[in-house]
Amino acid sequence: MLICKYWQAVKPLLQERTKRKIQVLQGSGKDELLKIMDYSSLPHFCRKEGSGSARRGSNGTADNCFSLDHAYDQQLYSYIKQQSTLKETGSRVKEGSVHLEFPKPDPDDTKIADN
């Protein structure tokens, strides 16, 4: 799952006390979240049935930012992994800006508000 890959890359960058506060849930986390909240309060991606939240385009590739196949996720994951590797080797991590191209949503699929 996408979040697991990010967690593996980010985890070495965090302090131990911060790591102890984070729990990465399997799948959508629906079962664990239902123990502490009502179904109506669940985020939309937890209410979906099926094995994944990413939609597939007609060419068979993921066409949104919920998939590691998306260019934005690949850029971000590569940067985080690079920074993690530098920290593990004891190298100084260069301070500065990260430049990623943010994905543009499909205007036909964008929902601003749901009444």
Per-residue pLDDT of the chain (115 residues; tens, 9 = 90+): 567 778 888 888 889 999 889 887 776 678 888 888 888 887 776 776 654 444 444 444 444 445 566 677 778 888 888 877 777 776 665 666 766 676 677 777 766 666 5
DSSP code at position 97:
-
* 105 assigned to some structural domain: no
Task: Quote the number of domains for the chain.
Answer: 1
Whether the full predicted model's pTM is greater than 0.75, yes or no, is no
CB of 32 closer than 8 Å to CB of 25: yes
114: left (phi over 0), alpha (psi -120 to 50) or beta: beta
* 65 assigned to some structural domain: yes
The domain of 60 spans: 2-12+29-88
* Rounded Cα gap, residues 62 and 57, in angstroms: 6
* 97 assigned to some structural domain: no
* 98 assigned to some structural domain: no
- The position carrying tokens 């131990």 is 16
